[in-house]
């Protein structure tokens, strides 16, 4: 007696749907990562109750050691105004200040005064509570 089954089970697995899923996840993470612009310098930002997200074109960072950076490029206190003027000509006039919370307020006022004199909108970066 020779009994055979008519339906054979195929052991192959189709990876087409898994490939589509991975491709869609890759596109999602690539699109959402471009919306986040973190500051590349280690600064301990002050906290605030209300915070908004600002599109960052030009950032000025002052570290706790009073080192000045414009868009992650180190500048001196004397060349800060000329570097900021050069960067604001290409940007839309928005300056985001990343000031360490241990920096004296005098330095914050100095940098904000330069940006205001250059007719830029000044925003202070904070971390939410």
Dihedral sign of CA atoms 21, 27, 30, 33 in order: negative
Q: What is the CATH number of the domain that holds 80?
A: 3.30.420
* Any domain includes 22: no
- Bigger pLDDT: 126 vs 107: 107
* Boundaries of domain holding 53: 47-128
Backbone angles phi, psi at 90, to 5 degrees: -90, -25
- Bigger pLDDT: 56 vs 8: 8
User: Could you tell me the pLDDT band of residue 124, with boundaries at 50, 70 and 90?
Assistant: confident
Q: What is the pLDDT of residue 4?
A: 72
* Any domain includes 28: no
pTM of the predicted structure, to 2 decimals: 0.61
* Any domain includes 4: no
Half-sphere exposure of 128 (CA within 13 A, CB side): 4
pLDDT digits (tens, 9 = 90+) for 88-121: 865 567 888 888 888 888 988 999 898 888 888 8
* Any domain includes 9: no
pLDDT digits (tens, 9 = 90+) for 55-72: 667 888 898 888 999 888
* Any domain includes 62: yes
User: Could you tell me the pLDDT band of residue 1, with boundaries at 50, 70 and 90?
Assistant: low
What is the count of structural domains for the chain? 1
* Any domain includes 75: yes
CA angle 116, 42, 75 (to 5 degrees): 50
* Any domain includes 11: no
* Any domain includes 41: no
**81, pLDDT greater than 70:** yes
């Amino acid at each position: 007696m020779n009994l055979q089954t008519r339906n054979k089970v195929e052991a192959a697995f189709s990876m087409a749907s898994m490939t589509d899923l991975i491709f869609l996840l890759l596109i999602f993470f690539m699109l959402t990562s471009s919306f986040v612009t973190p500051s590349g310098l280690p600064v301990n930002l002050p906290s605030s109750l209300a915070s908004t997200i600002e599109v960052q074109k030009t950032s000025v960072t002052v570290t706790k050691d009073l080192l000045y950076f414009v868009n992650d490029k180190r500048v001196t206190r004397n060349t800060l105004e000329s570097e900021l003027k050069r960067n604001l000509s290409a940007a839309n006039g928005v300056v985001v200040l990343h000031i360490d919370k241990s920096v004296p307020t005098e330095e914050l006022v100095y940098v904000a005064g330069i940006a205001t004199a250059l007719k830029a909108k000044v925003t202070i970066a904070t971390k939410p509570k």
